[in-house]
Amino acid sequence: MFEVMVKGGFSAAHQLREYPGKCEALHGHNWTVEVTVRSGKLNELDMVMDFTELKESLGKVLGRLDHKLLNELKPFDKLSSTSENVAKYVFDEMRKTLSAYEIAWVRVWESDDSAATYYGR
């Protein structure tokens, strides 16, 4: 099994509704996002996929979140904007744009030492 991974980032604010602590208040992060694509075989160029294509796709997804208040965007207007849910959102959006590939997982870092990973179904 082969995996390739790229990183991207975005800056955004959010607040965790009904959270019993300081993160209920509006605050922001410089989020780092890792996306990994998996394949049991390589393509005709001996790659899982082109890193450029993967980076461009991630950039488009993250561009929708960059410099936004996440709580005002769908699905976070109803769903809590936790790192876990942001990871699932990015996973689902990447799956739509790269339907020919298997998205293995998405990891979202909200700080240098705190991350959440979504593996899909």
Can you name the residues that pair with 107 across neighbouring β-strands?
Answer: 34, 117
Q: Is 110 a catalytic residue?
A: yes
Q: What is the pLDDT of residue 56?
A: 98
* Cβ atoms within 10 Å, residue 45: 8
Q: Is 14 a catalytic residue?
A: no
Tokens linked to 49? 């996929």
Q: Is 44 a catalytic residue?
A: no
Calculate mean pLDDT across residues 36-44.
96
Calculate mean pLDDT across residues 45-50.
96
**3-state secondary structure (DSSP) of residue 112:** coil
Determine which one of 29, 34, 93, 110 is catalytic.
Answer: 110
Q: What is the pLDDT of residue 83?
A: 97
Tokens linked to 33? 């996002």
pLDDT tens by residue, 72-117: 999 999 999 999 999 999 999 999 999 999 999 999 999 999 999 9
pTM of the shown model? 0.95
Q: Is the Cα dihedral 110, 15, 20, 79 positive or negative?
A: negative
Per-domain residue ranges of the chain? 2-118
Which residues touch 87 (CB under 8 Å, ≥6 apart)? 33, 106, 107, 108, 116, 117, 118
Can you name the residues that pair with 32 across neighbouring β-strands?
Answer: 9, 109
pLDDT at 121 over 80: no
What CATH number does domain 2-118 carry, 3.30.460.80, 3.40.640.10, 3.30.479.10, 1.20.1730.10? Answer: 3.30.479.10
Q: In 3D, which of 24, 28, 30, 11 has the Cα closest to residue 80?
A: 24
Determine which one of 23, 24, 27, 56 is catalytic.
Answer: 23
